[in-house]
Amino acid sequence: MTVTHIPPLPVRDKAAGRALSPMLTRLAEERATGVLVREHGVLHLAEGRVVHAESPCSPGLGVLLTAHGTLATAAWQQAAAHTTSPPRAAELLLESGLLPVGALELCHLDALYDAGYFALAPSSTPGRFRYDHTPRPGPLPSVPVVALERETLRRRLLLHRLWPDPAADSAPLIRADPPAPAPLTPRQRAVLDRVDGVRTATGIALDLGRQAFHTLVDVRRLAAAGRLAAAPGAVPDPVPPYPPPVADPDIALLKRLRDALEAL
């Protein structure tokens, strides 16, 4: 497989030591509590720390808990019916004794870093923040903003080193037949078995119940080995943008002006 053009690493600021999101850095410094809405996901903050992340590119906490037998699907569905917050649903299961605390904390952090990676992707629109001083319930661990940004940069660099063309990250995937295929790991075989010209990496991650980033690692390695590629002429799946938070119109206008200035 020949790559005619190698795209640059998608880091907005070329100085890797700088913040990926100046707004997020400012919110961390002021110990803000609320929801940061970005083009590809949302970050929930409590006192300047990230307590939860969601993205349509990432399977989410419920999938990670139920996919491999940690929790029964019916139990998750019952808890989720009582709240719109996945962490709160998990905490209800913890309180009822249906979920071990260690398993919950591990899956919560896995989901947070996975969705956070996509939420912090370079975007074409400025983020919006909704302040919310409701006390954060439950014992779920949080992470510093700097830790999430550092891990996001590490993951970008890893993908770039594995295979620098990101076309296969979001487009429908097709199989390729290299002359001398290298052996596959069980994880890679599971991914390749689901390549059908329709599924994207995100769809495969959801089907497998795995973190989306880990699936991207397998996809990039398979692309580097010549075993798969983006479908010819395929248009990458659009990521549905999150709606802006509902707020007082005057405050919303001021925040939009502030966001626009920060984006300059």
DSSP assignment string, 4-40: S--PPP--SSSSTTS-S-HHHHHHHHTT--EEEEETT
**Are 183 and 128 within one domain?**
no
CA dihedral 31, 37, 40, 44 (to 10 degrees): 40
Same domain, 201 and 250: no
What is the secondary structure of 138-172 as a DSSP string? S----EEHHHHHHHHHHHHHHHHHH-S-GGGGTS-
Whether residue 218 is found in the same domain as residue 98:
no
One domain, residues 148 and 33: yes
Determine how β-strand 128-131 pairs with β-strand 34-38. Answer: antiparallel
Judge whether 11 lies within some domain: no
Q: What is the mean pLDDT of residues 113-131?
A: 94
Both 207 and 223 in one domain: the answer is yes
pLDDT at 129: 95
* Residue at 89: amino acid letter: A
Whether residue 61 sits in one domain with residue 171: no
Residues 90 and 193 in one domain: no
Nearest in space to 169 (alpha carbons), one of 203, 94, 219, 115? 219
Is residue 39 situated within a structural domain? yes
Asked if residue 5 belongs to a domain, the reply is no
**Structure token pair of residue 113:** 């870093």
**Do 139 and 189 fall within a single domain?**
no
Confidence of residue 139 (pLDDT cuts 50, 70, 90): confident
High-pLDDT (> 90) share of the chain, %: 65
DSSP codes joined into one string, 73-90: HHHHHHHHTT-S-HHHHH
Q: Give CA–CA dist 189/187, Å, rounded.
A: 5
The arithmetic mean of pLDDT across residues 125-141, rounded, is 82
* The two structure tokens encoding residue 181: 């295929």
Instruction: Give the pLDDT score at 195.
Output: 97
Whether residues 125 and 199 share a domain: the answer is no
Phi, psi dihedral angles at 27 (to 5 degrees):
-65, -35
CB 128 within 8 A of CB 256: yes
Is residue 16 assigned to a domain? no
64 domain residue, yes or no: yes
pLDDT digits (tens, 9 = 90+) for 207-234: 999 999 999 999 999 999 999 999 987 6
Lowest mean pLDDT, pick from 114-118, 132-136, 243-247, 252-256: 243-247
Residue 182 predicted with pLDDT over 80: yes
Domain assignment of residue 145, given as a range? 22-158+240-263
Number of structural domains (the chain) is: 2
Do 225 and 258 share a domain, yes or no? Answer: no
Q: Is residue 10 part of a domain?
A: no
Rounded CA-CA distance 84/175 in Å is 38
Tens-place pLDDT, residues 19-39: 689 999 999 999 999 999 999
The answer to whether residue 47 sits within a structural domain is yes
Judged against a pLDDT cut of 60, whether residue 12 lies above it is answered with no
pTM of the full predicted structure? 0.82
Q: What are phi and psi of 20, to 5 degrees?
A: -75, -30
User: In this structure, is residue 15 part of a structural domain?
Assistant: no
The answer to whether residues 60 and 82 belong to one domain is yes
Per-residue pLDDT tens over the stretch 86-105: 989 998 999 899 989 999 99
User: 147 and 29: one domain?
Assistant: yes
Q: Is the pLDDT of residue 132 over 60?
A: yes
